[in-house]
Structures are given as structure tokens and as C-alpha cells.
């Protein structure tokens, strides 16, 4: 289909996308950092004006929850030959059938154990049980966030976390929060939840040492309220995630496996026993071990949803809180009688902030990493806008940002 469309000929147009946000620089929240998400080598991001569209956009509402996402087509003359090369490179994907990956998986059988009976389940403050609804959920995207990170959440909803990115893949987004220390922030969380319906809040103080309550709350919530999910994508709210490549590059790695995880796999990381360390774990919390079992760091991972009831049930055996959420949820809880197929993708995901992702896009047609750290909420829209200018033919075909119209001379034209 695509070769006949002759995209190379057709595409002297690139599309400009602009997202308008009032965003202040945000500090990295201490409550969303997982074990391996250290921020070394912080470098100032240099704005790349080439990739930021010059014209303001016409308002185009893409679904209810992203009303401020603004897209406008901007004609940019490109070199036809480089365009041709690019579309050839992507041709390998033209037959990629994402639906097979999702439809080939069954709805998981939820555990019947009630969360109230869980030794460590903290209880819900906000539950939003209808979030997943009764339809298909191909990807449940859940992000650890904290009450005060409203700006990050808004930026993510409007960009890569939107449920409206794909025409034919159902994505649901949920933010997992604990309790803030003040009433004002709590009231704002409740207002935000009433507007967007995408927040789950557990009854625990949102501190670094309490992060494992977030993991347990999430497992309980997915098990109870989103058993139709096929895949789960987990990240922190200071990560950028290229959802197109999650679908085309990461999810296919799980094909054919019952329980599977795709992550920056840690085979044998020492448990930090030095009390001065941020990651200190007492002998009491995790006795008689020197190392963590192999685990997936929580800054970003993809896993098959069939793992949810298994990890959830296993967590009933925990009597003390293991303060490192990812080593616990994506390591200790998978120990035992299941085999998890691991795809280690440490070379294409990265918890650190990238020096200049739009430059990578310009040079390679894609970001070096499928997911990477961001330090300012406005970067979500910057990087997403840049990414939308570089969608492959497959991505264009499956994205709501594009549609193809027939020109009078019979040639197709892709427009926003
Ligand atoms: C959208 O782009 C067109 C040019 O392609 C321009 O004429 C129009 O003014 C733009 N819309 C807005 C709101 O700037
Ligand atoms: C979107 O908004 C319309 C009206 O504004 C409403 O009828 C519909 O239920 C909304 N859909 C969702 C998914 O919220
Ligand atoms: C759920 O349970 C049914 C009945 O026991 C079984 O046939 C099905 O394979 C199970 N599904 C999964 C995903 O394990
Ligand atoms: C939250 O937990 C506290 C005890 O830590 C309890 O007093 C309170 O009732 C709980 N709130 C809800 C809404 O369950
Ligand atoms: C969470 O952390 C706070 C302070 O670190 C602590 O006082 C509290 O007991 C912890 N547990 C819950 C359930 O909030
Ligand atoms: C693991 O073992 C427990 C008890 O030994 C059993 O109830 C459970 O179904 C097993 N899980 C799987 C996925 O086989």
C-alpha cells in the first residue's frame, strides 16, 4: 500500500505542530525517583528553533482531555532525495500489524483477593474505578507522580500520554499519587481528578521511602479495575516516552511470551546498606541478602498485563515494606514460580536527560532513546512537537494527527 502511495514524491510538506503551555521550570520531584533514575550530567538544553513551527496553529481539539493541543500544517520545503531515503528506511515497517500483538493476548484473570485483606495496601483516597471503562485497553500507561506536579501531568496529558495519539490503539493514562503534606495541594488534586478522571491516590504520605505503597496501590487498582489491559507501560512523570516506538519497537519484543518485561534490566545490583545513602535499606526491611534479585528499574518499563495478578498475589506475602519500589515490584515480586521473559533495552532507554533530543531527531529521523528524562515540563511539548514532524509512514497512518486526502490529480496528500 505504502510503496504505491509514493510518499517520497508526495511529501514536500512537513507538518508543524505547536503546543501552547504555560510552564515553569520544575525541579525533579524526590518522590518519583526510583532506584536507578539518577540525574547525572545535567546539561542545559539548547532550544532548537528549526523544529519549532514558526506559525501559530489553528485550534484543533483532539479529544476531550487534550483540548489545548493545537496543530497546524506548516509547509516546509524539504530535499526530495533525503525524504526518499527516510521513507525507504521506514518501509520495513509498512506491514507491521500492531493489532495482532494486542488482540493476540487475552484479558487477564484478575486475582480474587480483595485489597482490603492485603497486609500493606494503604487504601484509596481517589479511585476513579471507571477510568478503563468497558472497552478495549491495549496499553495502560501509568505514571508515578506527586500532588504538586500538576504542570508535568498537564504537559503529559496533552502530548505523548494522550489517549488520542493512535487511531486504532487504545491507550489509557493514569497517574498514581500519594498524599501531599498540605490541604491546598490535596484540594487541587481532587479538582484535577474531577476534571480529568485520570488520578488514583493512595492513603499514604507521598515520600521517597513510601514509594512502594504506590506500587502496591497500582497493582491492586489494575487488578480490580483494568483487567482488560493487554500491556502496561510504567514511567515516572519526569520521563519523556515515544509512544510510537513503544508500539513498534518495544511491545513486539514480548510476542509469544506469556509473562514478559521490557526494561533496562539490572542483573545483580547491591542493596545499599549505608545509612547515609538515599537508597539505604535496613536489614530488617530486607534481611539476609547482599544483592537485589534481577529487576526492572521503574523509571520506564513495559510489561504484559498478565503479570499484574501474579505480582499482586505475591505481594500479599510481604509483611514489611521494602522501601525501594522498583526492586520490590519488578524484582522481588517476580521471584518464585513464574518465568518472566526479559528484553533488556538499556541501549534505547535512559533515565538521564538528553542534551539535545531535537538534534538527534534531525540527524537520525528519531530520538536516540525511546524514553529519556526531561527536566522541565515544557520539554514534553517541545519534544513531542519535534517528534510529530518526523512520523514514519506507518506512524502517520496510525496517528490521529494525520489523514490522507486524494488530490485532484490522484496523488495522496497527508494533512494534519
Ligand atoms: C496555519 O497555517 C497557515 C499556513 O499554512 C496560516 O495561514 C494560518 O494563519 C495558520 N493558522 C494560525 C492560527 O496561525
Ligand atoms: C467528550 O465530550 C462530550 C461533550 O463535550 C461528551 O458527551 C463525551 O462523553 C466526552 N467523552 C469523554 C470520553 O469524556
Ligand atoms: C483465564 O481463565 C480461563 C479459565 O480458567 C482460562 O481458560 C484462560 O486461559 C485464563 N486466561 C489467562 C490469560 O490466563
Ligand atoms: C487513611 O488512613 C488513616 C490512617 O492512616 C485513616 O485514619 C483514614 O481514615 C484513612 N482515610 C481514608 C479515606 O481511608
Ligand atoms: C510514609 O512516610 C511518612 C514519613 O516518611 C511516615 O510517617 C508514614 O508513616 C509513612 N507511611 C504511610 C502509610 O503514610
Ligand atoms: C504460583 O504458586 C502459587 C502457590 O504455590 C499458586 O497459587 C499460583 O497459581 C502460582 N502461579 C503461577 C503463575 O503459576
Query: Domain with 191 in it: what CATH number?
Result: 3.90.550
* Residue 296 pLDDT greater than 80, yes or no: yes
Query: Which residues in 331-374 belong to E strands, given as ranges?
Result: 341-344, 349-353, 371-373
The residues with which 174 forms a beta bridge, in sequence order, are: 142
Number of neighbouring beta carbons within 10 Å of residue 261: 24
* Residue 3 pLDDT greater than 60, yes or no: no
User: What is the C-alpha separation between 213 and 325, in angstroms, rounded?
Assistant: 8
Q: How does residue 244 score in pLDDT terms, banded at 50, 70 and 90?
A: very high
Grid coordinates representing 53? 513551527
Structural domain of 272: 109-344
Q: What is the mean pLDDT of residues 232-256?
A: 96
Confirm whether 33 is domain-assigned.
Answer: no
* Residue 2 pLDDT greater than 60, yes or no: no
Least confident of 166-170, 318-322, 387-391: 387-391
The position carrying cell 479538582 is 191
Determine if ligand 3 sits within 6 Å of the CB of residue 227.
no
Confirm whether 72 is domain-assigned.
Answer: no
Which atom in ligand 1 lies closest to the alpha carbon of residue 55? 14
Confirm whether 337 is domain-assigned.
Answer: yes
Burial class (CB in 10 A: 0-12, 13-18, 19+), 313: middle
* Residue 176 pLDDT greater than 60, yes or no: yes
With CA atoms as reference, report the closest residue to 221 among 303, 324, 322, 118: 118
Confirm whether 126 is domain-assigned.
Answer: yes
Which atom in ligand 4 lies closest to the alpha carbon of residue 203? 1
Confirm whether 406 is domain-assigned.
Answer: no
Which atom in ligand 6 lies closest to the alpha carbon of residue 310? 13
With CA atoms as reference, report the closest residue to 200 among 216, 71, 309, 208: 216
Question: Kind and range of the H or E element at 234?
Answer: strand 229-236
Centroid of ligand 3 to alpha carbon of 114 (angstroms): 19
Confirm whether 182 is domain-assigned.
Answer: yes
Confirm whether 13 is domain-assigned.
Answer: no
Least confident of 41-55, 118-132, 276-290, 397-411: 41-55
Centroid of ligand 6 to alpha carbon of 340 (angstroms): 14
Grid coordinates representing 351? 533515565
With CA atoms as reference, report the closest residue to 185 among 193, 197, 175: 193
Q: Are 137 and 229 in contact (CB under 8 A)?
A: yes
pLDDT tens, residue by residue, 315-324: 999 999 999 9
Q: Are 182 and 150 in contact (CB under 8 A)?
A: no
pLDDT tens, residue by residue, 60-70: 333 333 332 33
How many domains, the chain? 1
Confirm whether 354 is domain-assigned.
Answer: no
Determine if ligand 3 sits within 6 Å of the CB of residue 104.
no
User: What is the C-alpha separation between 383 and 27, in angstroms, rounded?
Assistant: 18
Determine if ligand 1 sits within 6 Å of the CB of residue 400.
no
DSSP code of 376?
B
371-373 and 239-241 beta bridge pairing:
antiparallel
* Residue 35 pLDDT greater than 70, yes or no: no
Q: Are 97 and 175 in contact (CB under 8 A)?
A: no
Determine if ligand 3 sits within 6 Å of the CB of residue 121.
no
Nearest CA to ligand 3 atom 9: 106
Amino acid at each position: 500500500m505504502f510503496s504505491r502511495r509514493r510518499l517520497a514524491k508526495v511529501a514536500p510538506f512537513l507538518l508543524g505542530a505547536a503546543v501552547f503551555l504555560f510552564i515553569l521550570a520544575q525541579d525533579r520531584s524526590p518522590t518519583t525517583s526510583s532506584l536507578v533514575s539518577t540525574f547525572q550530567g545535567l546539561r542545559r538544553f539548547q532550544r532548537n528553533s528549526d523544529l519549532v513551527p514558526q506559525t501559530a496553529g489553528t485550534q484543533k481539539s483532539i479529544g476531550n482531555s487534550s483540548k489545548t493541543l493545537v496543530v497546524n500544517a506548516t509547509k516546509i520545503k524539504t530535499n526530495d532525495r533525503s525524504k526518499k531515503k527516510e521513507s525507504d528506511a521506514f518501509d520495513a515497517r509498512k506491514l507491521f500489524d500492531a493489532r495482532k500483538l494486542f488482540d493476540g493476548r487475552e484479558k487477564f484473570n484478575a486475582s480474587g483477593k480483595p485489597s482490603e485483606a492485603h497486609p500493606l495496601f494503604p487504601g484509596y483516597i481517589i479511585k476513579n474505578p471507571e477510568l478503563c471503562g468497558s472497552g478495549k485497553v491495549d496499553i495502560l500507561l501509568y505514571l508515578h507522580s506527586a500532588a504538586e506536579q500538576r504542570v508535568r501531568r498537564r504537559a503529559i496529558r496533552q502530548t505523548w500520554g494522550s489517549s488520542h495519539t493512535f487511531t486504532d490503539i487504545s491507550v489509557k493514562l493514569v497517574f498514581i499519587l500519594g498524599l501531599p503534606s498540605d490541604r491546598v495541594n490535596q484540594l487541587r488534586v481532587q479538582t484535577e481528578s474531577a476534571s480529568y478522571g485520570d488520578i488514583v491516590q493512595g492513603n499514604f504520605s507521598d515520600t521517597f521511602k513510601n514509594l512502594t505503597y504506590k506500587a502496591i496501590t497500582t497493582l491492586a487498582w489494575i487488578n480490580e479495575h483494568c483487567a482488560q489491559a493487554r500491556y502496561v507501560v510504567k514511567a515516572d512523570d519526569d520521563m519523556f516516552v515515544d509512544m510510537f516506538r513503544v508500539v513498534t519497537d518495544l511491545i513486539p519484543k514480548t510476542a509469544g511470551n506469556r509473562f514478559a518485561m521490557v526494561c533496562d534490566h539490572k542483573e545483580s545490583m547491591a542493596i545499599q546498606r549505608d545509612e547515609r545513602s538515599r537508597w539505604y535499606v535496613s536489614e530488617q526491611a530486607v534481611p539476609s541478602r547482599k544483592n537485589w534479585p534481577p529487576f526492572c528499574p521503574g523509571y520506564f518499563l513495559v510489561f504484559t498485563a498478565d503479570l499484574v495478578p501474579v505480582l499482586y498475589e505475591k505481594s500479599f506475602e510481604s509483611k514489611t515494606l521494602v522501601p525501594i519500589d522498583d526492586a520490590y515490584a519488578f524484582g522481588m515480586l517476580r521471584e518464585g514460580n513464574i518465568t518472566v521473559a526479559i528484553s533488556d533495552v538499556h541501549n534505547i532507554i535512559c533515565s538521564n536527560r538528553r542534551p539535545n533530543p531535537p538534534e538527534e531527531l534531525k540527524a537520525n529521523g528519531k530520538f536516540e532513546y525511546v524514553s529519556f528524562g526531561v527536566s522541565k515540563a515544557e520539554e514534553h511539548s517541545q519534544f513531542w512537537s519535534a517528534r510529530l514532524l518526523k512520523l514514519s509512514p506507518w506512524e502517520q497512518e496510525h496517528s490521529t494527527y494525520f489523514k490522507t486526502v486524494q488530490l485532484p490529480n490522484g496523488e495522496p496528500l497527508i494533512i494534519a
